Amino acid sequence: MYQTILLAADGSDHSLRAVRHAIGLVKGEEKPHIDVVYVVDGEKSKTDVLHYGNTDVIQTKRKEQLMPVEDVLKEKNIPYEIHLKHGEPGPSIVKFANEGTYDCVVLGSRGLNQLQTMVLGSVSHKVAKRVECPVLIIK
């Protein structure tokens, strides 16, 4: 169906469901590839520094968060690459997606309520509105 997919993941249950759908989209393709993007926002970055103090420990903890996603990709023998970005998740994912050549962007939904969506805007909503290729949001 698609050859190159951008998967926005953070290691949550939502991103685990998203990786399974992404694999389904590239299954059977001649040269499938999934780029996994993990965006660390400023607040999370500050918290990590205060909590761990050591950048090596912080990097290890972030990689550990994505281990379940990596395990699924390895199990299915899907070529992948992980990209760690810093910034606000929505705009960072949009920028990364639009600078690449992806057939589809896949990401999980957090299911924010109406008030949160109106006031804050959700990452999935921002990505769906601004990415130039098809976007698949997994509930």
Q: Find the domain containing 32 and state its range.
A: 4-119
pLDDT-derived band at 59, boundaries 50, 70, 90: confident
**Residue 122 to residue 111: CA distance in whole angstroms:** 9
- Residue range 98-124: mean pLDDT, rounded: 74
In a domain, 132, yes or no: no
In a domain, 126, yes or no: no
Q: Work out the mean pLDDT of the chain and round it to a whole number.
A: 85
pTM for the whole structure: 0.85
In a domain, 66, yes or no: yes
pLDDT of residue 111: 43
Give the chain's domain count.
1
Write the pLDDT tens digit of every residue in 60-85: 777 888 999 999 999 999 999 999 99
In a domain, 93, yes or no: yes
pLDDT of residue 113: 44
Residues found in the chain: 139
- Report the SS3 class of residue 73: helix
CATH number at residue 14: 3.40.50.620
In a domain, 77, yes or no: yes
Enumerate the β-bridge partners of residue 86: 40
What are the C-alpha distances in Å from 70 to residues 49, 82, 90? Answer: 24, 9, 22
In a domain, 101, yes or no: yes
pLDDT of residue 116: 46
Better pLDDT: 43 or 9 = 9
pLDDT-derived band at 24, boundaries 50, 70, 90: very high
In a domain, 127, yes or no: no
- Residue range 1-30: mean pLDDT, rounded: 93
In a domain, 14, yes or no: yes
Residue 28 has pLDDT above 80, yes or no: yes
